[in-house]
Amino acid sequence: MMPPIDTSVIPAGVRNAGPQAVKLYGVALQFEGLLTSQITQQMFDATQSSDGSDGSDGSDGSGGGPYQSMLPGALSDTITGAGGLGLADELYRSFGGTYAAAPPSSGSAKQEGNA
C-alpha cells in the first residue's frame, strides 16, 4: 500500500489550478511511487543470489533478518516522500494537466484597470 500523498510536494501552480488538478497530480505521484517501488524491488532482487546471500561479505545471507525484505519499500517511500524522481510532473502534463498562473498581485491589478 502506498503512503498518503504529502500535499507539500504538489507544486503551487497545480494547487492554484483547483481540486481536479491536485487530484490529477496526486495520481501522477502515485504512479511514480509505484514505479519507484518496482525499481527498488528489482535493485534489491538483483543484489541477492539464489541462496539469499549477496556474496559481498562471505556470509550465509542471514545477516539482514526479517527486516531486509522491508528495505526496498522503505527506500521507495523515502524517495517518493521527498518529491520523487521528477516523473510526476511530466506524467501530470501528459495526462492533460496544466499549471495555473500565480494570482495577480494587487499592484498589477490596479495597473490593468487603468489601461
Q: 17 CB contacts (<8 Å, ≥6 apart)? A: 97, 98, 99, 100
Tell me the residue range of the domain where 40 lies.
Answer: 10-49+76-95
What is the pTM for the complete model shown?
0.67
Higher-confidence residue of 39 and 114: namely 39
Which long-range contacts does 69-76 make (Cβ < 8 Å, 24+ apart)?
Answer: 71/44, 72/37, 72/40, 72/41, 72/43, 72/44, 73/37, 73/40, 73/41, 75/40, 76/33, 76/36, 76/37, 76/39, 76/40, 76/41
CA atoms within 13 A on the CB side of 68: 14
Taking the C-alpha atoms of residue 2 and residue 38, their distance in angstroms, rounded to an integer, is 12
Residue 24 within a domain: yes
Residue 56 within a domain: no
Give the count of domains, the chain: 1
DSSP 8-state code for residue 11: -
Q: What is the mean pLDDT of residues 22-26?
A: 90
Residue 37 within a domain: yes
Residue 43 within a domain: yes
- The string of pLDDT tens digits covering residues 80-103 is 888 788 898 999 999 888 887 666
Nearest partner of 43 among 21, 67, 76, judged by Cα: 76
Residue 113 within a domain: no
**Residue 55, pLDDT score:** 47
